[in-house]
Amino acid sequence: TTQTLFEQQQAYALPWRQSSLRDRKTQLHRFREAILAQRETIRQAVMADLGKPAAEADLSEVCLLYTSD
């Protein structure tokens, strides 16, 4: 449920704030890699849900991750 997700986020907020910059960057990098690994699945979902063509789905949902560091 939404409430459960909210509670999980609240429980994780303090450890996240207390983690080092290096740890946060590592976790964000892993998150980025996981999203990129699912690029085709994301593209198909965006196309099905929003009716966007493949190129627009990539540009609006995934490609920004290629330029972030």
pLDDT of residue 57: 84
- Amino acid identity, position 32: R
pLDDT of residue 69: 57
Residue scoring higher pLDDT (8 or 62): 8
pLDDT of residue 68: 56
What tens digit of pLDDT does each residue of 5-58 get?
Answer: 999 999 988 888 899 999 999 998 998 899 889 989 988 998 999 898 988 888
From residue 47, how far is each of 19, 39, 59 by CA, in Å? Answer: 37, 12, 12
- pTM (2 decimals)? 0.64
pLDDT of residue 67: 64
SS3 of 68, please? coil
